[in-house]
Amino acid sequence: MSDLKMNISIFGLGYVGAVSAGCLANDGHRVIGVDSNAAKVKLINEGVSPIVEKDIGDIIATCVRDGRLSATTNVAEAVNNSDISLICVGTPSQLNGSLDLTYVRRVCEEIGAAIAQKTSFHIVVARSTMLPGTMKDIVIPTLEASSGKTAGVDFGVCNNPEFLREGTAVHDYYQPPKTVIGETDSRSGALLAEIYANMDAPLIRTDVASAEMVKYTDNVWHALKVGFANEIGNICKSLDIDGHKVMDIFCHDHKLNLSSYYLKPGFAFGGSCLPKDVRALTYKAKTLDVETPILNSILPGNHLQVQRGIKMLTEHGKRKIGVLGFSFKAGTDDLRESPVVEVIETLIGKGYDLRLYDKNVSIASITGSNRDYILNHIPHISRLMVDNIDDILAHAEVILIGNDAPEFKDILSKIQPHQMVVDFVRITSGRSEAGRYQGICW
């Protein structure tokens, strides 16, 4: 637990800024709100909230009365009298969907000019929602140009996305799902983390771009969930089923449905269930004249990931390809609707020289429907199968990792300088490395 109290300036007294100002002051920090709108500044100094939000009015009134919260239009005064500046200005949409960063640029110019006159180390923290790359391309260069100093050396820069819902913002501030700090230097990240030391939530310190992206990932996921639930509800109503009852039952599953499962970027899904059931439900919706654009986009989106994988294998101009693992998931011999099989068939059609290995897919040991599927539907694939990994290594210029069988984990230590690995499942924690290793989403 930390009792460190800091002087904090907050730029922008709109929704996020007002909530942040009130809550930080309520935690005992001395907070100076900064806004070009004199009316908002006047309201804060009178102890009145400039926004309508549960609990924040009482908090602001108390903090102003106790001398922990004030507001000004004077940027230099705020920066000179604070250790950390939080940028909470708006980033509204433009007509083409891009963000209007006018306010961000302006406030960075103003803060940078004030930092130029400071001798002590100052930290600038962006809480405004901005697309990945905005910190690197706009925020940091503008601060450096205006201050004449170097970010990460002469002053600190962090990205600290907010996760506040209107109507429950104070509750969300004190009980966040997580706290994310993207930092340019560890000194700044550590000092900013002190603000949240008493929060009962995971604290993640990461790079700036990842922090920027997390906010968008969260919000788009929430939007997708709303749209998904509505489409399921529309189908249910057409079938005289209570959509709320169905989704209530759905939400009882915290192992698969409401969990991190299935949320790891990688290759396309396959198997005997998911493709079949998506097709069946979207067909049923069509017969009911229920439009389901989100559900209808699932299979086309899945196919695009297959095409992405094929492009990764063929863009190197090498003709000899080895495949390690081609059942739809490790630990099974099921090839039905395996997306890797689709990749293999495409490559065969394009004249590539392939060898395939999967210890679970052996003609001698497969019986029943899987044996019938191989012999009658994809016999050309069975002729390309080899008995061990060494046969793949002896043949291939490009090696595809198609599933995450444990025996593939150390493949990078076995390849030759002329060989490269294309990984669909992430067998290593490393990132892509030109000419040697390419991950499909990392």
**Residues catalogued as catalytic:** 273
How far are the Cα atoms of 122, 135, 157, 238, 423 from residue 188, in angstroms, in the given order? 9, 15, 7, 55, 36
HEC assignment per residue over the chain: CCCCCCEEEEECCCHHHHHHHHHHHHCCCEEEEECCCHHHHHHHHCCCCCCCCCCHHHHHHHHHHCCCEEEECCHHHHHHCCCEEEECCCCCECCCCCECCHHHHHHHHHHHHHHCCCCCCCEEEECCCCCCCHHHHHHHHHHHHHHCCCECCCEEEEECCCCCCCCCHHHHHHCCCCEEEEECCHHHHHHHHHHCCCCCCCEEEECHHHHHHHHHHHHHHHHHHHHHHHHHHHHHHHCCCCHHHHHHHHCCCCCCCCCCCCCCCCCCCCCCCHHHHHHHHHHHHHHCCCCCHHHHCHHHHHHHHHHHHHHHHHCCCCCEEEEECCCCCCCCCCCCCCHHHHHHHHHHHCCCEEEEECCCCCCCCCCHHHHHHHHHHCHHHHCCECCCHHHHHHHCCEEEECCCCHHHCCHHHCCCCCCEEEECCCCCCCCCECCCEEECCC
* Cα first-last separation, the chain: 36
